[in-house]
Amino acid sequence: MSYFSGKRVFLVGGSEGIGRSAAVALARQGAHVVVAARRVPPLEETVAAMRAVAKDGQALGFCSLDVTDRAAVRDAVEPVKQQLGGGVDVLITNVGSARPGYLTDLSDDDFDAMMAVNYTGHVNVVRAFVPELRREDGGRADICLVSSALGFMSMPGYSAYSASKFAIAGFAESLRMEVGTQGIKVTLFYPGTTDTPGLQNENETKPKAVWKMEADSAFSKTHAPDDVAKSMLRAIERGRFENFPGSDVWFIWFMYKHFPGLSRYLADQEWRTALKKVAADEAS
Protein backbone atom coordinates (compact mmCIF):
# COMPACT_ATOMS: atom_id res chain seq x y z
CA MET A 1 0.00 0.00 0.00
CA SER A 2 1.23 3.49 -0.83
CA TYR A 3 2.32 5.78 2.00
CA PHE A 4 -0.20 8.33 0.67
CA SER A 5 -3.19 6.00 0.49
CA GLY A 6 -5.96 7.62 2.52
CA LYS A 7 -3.83 10.65 3.38
CA ARG A 8 -5.42 14.10 3.15
CA VAL A 9 -3.12 16.31 1.08
CA PHE A 10 -3.24 20.06 0.47
CA LEU A 11 -0.98 20.89 -2.46
CA VAL A 12 -0.40 24.60 -3.11
CA GLY A 13 0.86 25.28 -6.62
CA GLY A 14 -0.99 22.38 -8.22
CA SER A 15 -2.32 23.96 -11.40
CA GLU A 16 0.50 22.93 -13.75
CA GLY A 17 4.02 21.54 -14.02
CA ILE A 18 5.47 19.67 -11.05
CA GLY A 19 2.41 20.43 -8.93
CA ARG A 20 -0.07 18.93 -11.39
CA SER A 21 2.12 15.87 -11.88
CA ALA A 22 2.33 15.39 -8.11
CA ALA A 23 -1.43 15.83 -7.69
CA VAL A 24 -2.18 13.16 -10.29
CA ALA A 25 0.38 10.79 -8.76
CA LEU A 26 -1.15 11.30 -5.32
CA ALA A 27 -4.65 10.62 -6.62
CA ARG A 28 -3.39 7.47 -8.32
CA GLN A 29 -1.93 6.34 -4.98
CA GLY A 30 -5.25 6.74 -3.19
CA ALA A 31 -4.81 10.12 -1.48
CA HIS A 32 -7.49 12.72 -0.92
CA VAL A 33 -6.17 15.86 -2.60
CA VAL A 34 -7.07 19.54 -2.74
CA VAL A 35 -4.93 21.67 -5.03
CA ALA A 36 -4.59 25.44 -4.91
CA ALA A 37 -3.34 28.20 -7.22
CA ARG A 38 -4.67 31.51 -8.48
CA ARG A 39 -6.21 30.55 -11.83
CA VAL A 40 -9.38 28.45 -11.82
CA PRO A 41 -9.32 26.86 -15.33
CA PRO A 42 -5.93 25.13 -14.85
CA LEU A 43 -7.04 23.96 -11.41
CA GLU A 44 -10.15 22.43 -12.95
CA GLU A 45 -7.92 20.65 -15.46
CA THR A 46 -5.81 19.25 -12.63
CA VAL A 47 -8.89 17.97 -10.80
CA ALA A 48 -10.14 16.33 -14.00
CA ALA A 49 -6.76 14.63 -14.45
CA MET A 50 -6.91 13.40 -10.84
CA ARG A 51 -10.43 12.04 -11.23
CA ALA A 52 -9.31 10.09 -14.30
CA VAL A 53 -6.93 7.98 -12.17
CA ALA A 54 -8.65 8.03 -8.74
CA LYS A 55 -10.99 5.47 -7.23
CA ASP A 56 -14.50 6.06 -5.90
CA GLY A 57 -14.58 7.71 -2.50
CA GLN A 58 -11.48 9.86 -2.86
CA ALA A 59 -12.01 13.53 -2.01
CA LEU A 60 -10.61 15.67 -4.82
CA GLY A 61 -11.02 19.42 -5.18
CA PHE A 62 -9.41 22.79 -5.63
CA CYS A 63 -9.15 26.19 -4.01
CA SER A 64 -8.42 29.43 -5.88
CA LEU A 65 -5.84 31.16 -3.73
CA ASP A 66 -3.28 33.97 -3.87
CA VAL A 67 -0.60 32.98 -1.39
CA THR A 68 0.58 36.57 -1.03
CA ASP A 69 -2.81 37.47 0.51
CA ARG A 70 -2.28 36.42 4.12
CA ALA A 71 -5.92 36.89 5.14
CA ALA A 72 -7.16 34.85 2.17
CA VAL A 73 -4.78 32.02 3.05
CA ARG A 74 -6.10 31.90 6.61
CA ASP A 75 -9.69 32.03 5.37
CA ALA A 76 -8.97 29.02 3.15
CA VAL A 77 -8.17 26.68 6.06
CA GLU A 78 -11.72 25.61 6.89
CA PRO A 79 -12.91 25.19 3.27
CA VAL A 80 -9.84 23.07 2.49
CA LYS A 81 -10.43 20.90 5.57
CA GLN A 82 -14.06 20.42 4.61
CA GLN A 83 -13.15 19.34 1.08
CA LEU A 84 -10.61 16.87 2.46
CA GLY A 85 -13.02 15.46 4.98
CA GLY A 86 -11.94 17.05 8.22
CA GLY A 87 -8.20 17.60 8.34
CA VAL A 88 -4.80 17.78 6.66
CA ASP A 89 -2.07 15.13 6.85
CA VAL A 90 0.33 16.40 4.19
CA LEU A 91 1.01 20.01 3.19
CA ILE A 92 3.03 20.69 0.03
CA THR A 93 4.00 24.27 -0.87
CA ASN A 94 5.12 24.33 -4.49
CA VAL A 95 4.52 27.98 -5.41
CA GLY A 96 7.12 30.06 -7.22
CA SER A 97 7.95 32.12 -10.25
CA ALA A 98 11.16 33.38 -11.81
CA ARG A 99 11.95 36.47 -13.84
CA PRO A 100 15.64 36.35 -14.77
CA GLY A 101 17.50 39.58 -15.36
CA TYR A 102 20.59 41.41 -14.28
CA LEU A 103 20.59 43.27 -10.98
CA THR A 104 20.17 46.74 -12.50
CA ASP A 105 17.71 45.62 -15.18
CA LEU A 106 15.12 44.12 -12.85
CA SER A 107 12.62 46.51 -11.31
CA ASP A 108 11.90 46.98 -7.63
CA ASP A 109 8.56 45.30 -8.26
CA ASP A 110 10.34 42.24 -9.70
CA PHE A 111 12.37 41.83 -6.52
CA ASP A 112 9.34 42.38 -4.31
CA ALA A 113 7.10 40.03 -6.29
CA MET A 114 9.53 37.11 -6.25
CA MET A 115 10.11 37.43 -2.52
CA ALA A 116 6.36 37.75 -1.88
CA VAL A 117 5.47 34.60 -3.85
CA ASN A 118 8.57 32.43 -3.61
CA TYR A 119 9.25 32.95 0.09
CA THR A 120 6.51 34.76 1.98
CA GLY A 121 3.86 32.75 0.13
CA HIS A 122 5.29 29.54 1.59
CA VAL A 123 5.43 31.09 5.04
CA ASN A 124 1.81 32.28 4.86
CA VAL A 125 0.54 28.81 3.98
CA VAL A 126 2.64 26.98 6.56
CA ARG A 127 1.71 29.36 9.39
CA ALA A 128 -1.98 29.03 8.55
CA PHE A 129 -2.03 25.23 8.31
CA VAL A 130 0.48 24.07 10.94
CA PRO A 131 -2.21 24.00 13.68
CA GLU A 132 -4.18 21.54 11.52
CA LEU A 133 -1.14 19.27 11.10
CA ARG A 134 -0.08 18.91 14.72
CA ARG A 135 -0.22 15.34 15.96
CA GLU A 136 -0.83 14.40 19.59
CA ASP A 137 -1.71 10.76 18.93
CA GLY A 138 1.74 9.57 17.92
CA GLY A 139 0.92 9.75 14.22
CA ARG A 140 2.90 11.60 11.58
CA ALA A 141 2.14 14.58 9.38
CA ASP A 142 4.30 16.06 6.63
CA ILE A 143 5.26 19.48 5.29
CA CYS A 144 7.16 19.65 2.00
CA LEU A 145 8.70 22.98 1.00
CA VAL A 146 9.78 23.20 -2.64
CA SER A 147 12.84 25.39 -3.10
CA SER A 148 15.17 25.14 -6.12
CA ALA A 149 18.73 24.19 -6.97
CA LEU A 150 19.19 27.97 -6.93
CA GLY A 151 18.28 27.78 -3.25
CA PHE A 152 21.73 26.42 -2.37
CA MET A 153 23.84 27.94 -5.18
CA SER A 154 23.31 30.73 -7.69
CA MET A 155 24.30 32.21 -11.02
CA PRO A 156 24.16 35.55 -12.84
CA GLY A 157 20.71 36.81 -13.74
CA TYR A 158 19.00 35.16 -10.77
CA SER A 159 19.80 37.47 -7.85
CA ALA A 160 16.13 38.10 -6.98
CA TYR A 161 14.90 34.56 -7.59
CA SER A 162 17.80 32.83 -5.88
CA ALA A 163 17.52 35.01 -2.77
CA SER A 164 13.86 34.07 -2.40
CA LYS A 165 14.66 30.36 -2.74
CA PHE A 166 17.57 30.54 -0.28
CA ALA A 167 15.09 32.06 2.17
CA ILE A 168 12.92 28.93 1.98
CA ALA A 169 15.89 26.80 3.06
CA GLY A 170 16.52 29.01 6.09
CA PHE A 171 12.85 28.91 7.03
CA ALA A 172 12.77 25.13 6.65
CA GLU A 173 15.79 24.64 8.95
CA SER A 174 14.04 26.39 11.82
CA LEU A 175 10.64 24.88 11.03
CA ARG A 176 12.12 21.36 11.06
CA MET A 177 13.17 21.73 14.69
CA GLU A 178 10.09 23.60 15.89
CA VAL A 179 7.48 21.16 14.60
CA GLY A 180 9.54 17.97 14.81
CA THR A 181 8.44 17.46 18.40
CA GLN A 182 4.79 17.77 17.30
CA GLY A 183 4.82 14.74 15.02
CA ILE A 184 5.47 16.73 11.83
CA LYS A 185 8.26 15.85 9.39
CA VAL A 186 9.64 18.66 7.21
CA THR A 187 10.98 17.87 3.75
CA LEU A 188 13.01 20.42 1.78
CA PHE A 189 13.05 19.67 -1.94
CA TYR A 190 15.50 21.21 -4.43
CA PRO A 191 14.32 20.66 -8.03
CA GLY A 192 16.63 21.62 -10.86
CA THR A 193 15.59 22.92 -14.27
CA THR A 194 12.22 21.35 -15.11
CA ASP A 195 10.26 21.46 -18.37
CA THR A 196 7.19 23.39 -17.19
CA PRO A 197 5.13 26.38 -18.40
CA GLY A 198 6.94 28.37 -15.72
CA LEU A 199 10.28 27.61 -17.39
CA GLN A 200 8.90 28.82 -20.72
CA ASN A 201 7.91 32.13 -19.11
CA GLU A 202 11.28 32.36 -17.39
CA ASN A 203 13.13 31.91 -20.68
CA GLU A 204 11.44 34.99 -22.16
CA THR A 205 13.59 37.37 -20.10
CA LYS A 206 16.74 35.27 -19.68
CA PRO A 207 19.86 37.24 -20.74
CA LYS A 208 21.89 35.84 -23.66
CA ALA A 209 24.98 35.12 -21.60
CA VAL A 210 22.92 33.20 -19.04
CA TRP A 211 21.48 31.12 -21.87
CA LYS A 212 25.01 30.46 -23.11
CA MET A 213 26.30 29.53 -19.66
CA GLU A 214 23.48 27.03 -19.15
CA ALA A 215 23.79 25.54 -22.62
CA ASP A 216 27.54 24.93 -22.30
CA SER A 217 27.48 23.60 -18.74
CA ALA A 218 28.15 19.89 -18.31
CA PHE A 219 25.77 19.86 -15.35
CA SER A 220 22.80 21.54 -17.01
CA LYS A 221 19.97 19.06 -17.41
CA THR A 222 16.25 19.62 -17.94
CA HIS A 223 14.00 17.23 -16.01
CA ALA A 224 10.48 16.04 -16.87
CA PRO A 225 7.83 17.22 -14.36
CA ASP A 226 6.50 13.68 -13.83
CA ASP A 227 9.98 12.49 -12.82
CA VAL A 228 10.50 15.42 -10.46
CA ALA A 229 7.08 14.89 -8.88
CA LYS A 230 7.81 11.21 -8.25
CA SER A 231 11.12 12.13 -6.61
CA MET A 232 9.37 14.69 -4.41
CA LEU A 233 6.75 12.21 -3.22
CA ARG A 234 9.44 9.61 -2.48
CA ALA A 235 11.29 12.24 -0.48
CA ILE A 236 8.19 13.00 1.61
CA GLU A 237 7.65 9.30 2.28
CA ARG A 238 11.27 8.80 3.38
CA GLY A 239 11.08 11.79 5.69
CA ARG A 240 14.64 12.91 4.96
CA PHE A 241 15.19 16.64 5.27
CA GLU A 242 17.19 17.68 2.16
CA ASN A 243 16.23 16.04 -1.14
CA PHE A 244 17.07 16.24 -4.85
CA PRO A 245 15.32 14.98 -8.01
CA GLY A 246 18.42 13.51 -9.63
CA SER A 247 22.12 12.79 -9.30
CA ASP A 248 22.98 15.95 -11.26
CA VAL A 249 21.35 18.27 -8.71
CA TRP A 250 22.73 16.22 -5.81
CA PHE A 251 26.26 16.44 -7.25
CA ILE A 252 26.11 20.24 -7.54
CA TRP A 253 24.81 20.44 -3.94
CA PHE A 254 27.61 18.09 -2.80
CA MET A 255 30.26 20.19 -4.53
CA TYR A 256 29.00 23.50 -3.10
CA LYS A 257 28.70 21.97 0.36
CA HIS A 258 32.12 20.30 0.50
CA PHE A 259 34.19 22.22 -2.09
CA PRO A 260 32.68 25.74 -2.22
CA GLY A 261 35.85 27.46 -3.39
CA LEU A 262 36.37 25.07 -6.31
CA SER A 263 32.67 25.19 -7.21
CA ARG A 264 32.66 28.98 -7.37
CA TYR A 265 35.90 29.01 -9.37
CA LEU A 266 34.42 26.64 -11.96
CA ALA A 267 31.20 28.69 -12.11
CA ASP A 268 33.20 31.89 -12.60
CA GLN A 269 35.11 30.31 -15.46
CA GLU A 270 31.89 29.19 -17.14
CA TRP A 271 30.48 32.71 -16.78
CA ARG A 272 33.56 34.39 -18.29
CA THR A 273 33.48 31.95 -21.19
CA ALA A 274 29.78 32.65 -21.79
CA LEU A 275 30.35 36.42 -21.80
CA LYS A 276 33.18 36.06 -24.34
CA LYS A 277 31.05 33.90 -26.62
CA VAL A 278 28.15 36.34 -26.55
CA ALA A 279 30.50 39.25 -27.26
CA ALA A 280 32.00 37.34 -30.19
CA ASP A 281 28.55 36.50 -31.58
CA GLU A 282 27.46 40.14 -31.38
CA ALA A 283 30.68 41.32 -33.03
CA SER A 284 30.39 38.95 -35.97
Catalytic residues: 147, 161, 165
247 contacts 149 by C-beta, under 8 angstroms: no
**Residue 164 near residue 146, CB atoms below 8 Å:** no
d(CA 158, CA 147): 14
Measured CA to CA, the distance from residue 183 to residue 48 in angstroms comes to 33
> Mind spelling out the 3-state secondary structure of the chain?
CCCCCCCEEEEECCCCHHHHHHHHHHHHCCCEEEEEECCHHHHHHHHHHHHCCCCCCCCEEEEECCCCCHHHHHHCHHHHHHHHCCCCCEEEECCCCCCCCCCCCCCHHHHHHHHHHHHHHHHHHHHHHHHHHCCCCCCCEEEEEECCHHHCCCCCCCHHHHHHHHHHHHHHHHHHHHHHCCCEEEEEECCCCECCHHHHHHHCCCCHHHHHHHHHCCCCCCECHHHHHHHHHHHHHHCCCEECCCHHHHHHHHHHHHCHHHHHHHHHHHHHHHHHHHHHHHHC
Name residue 184's beta-bridge partners.
141
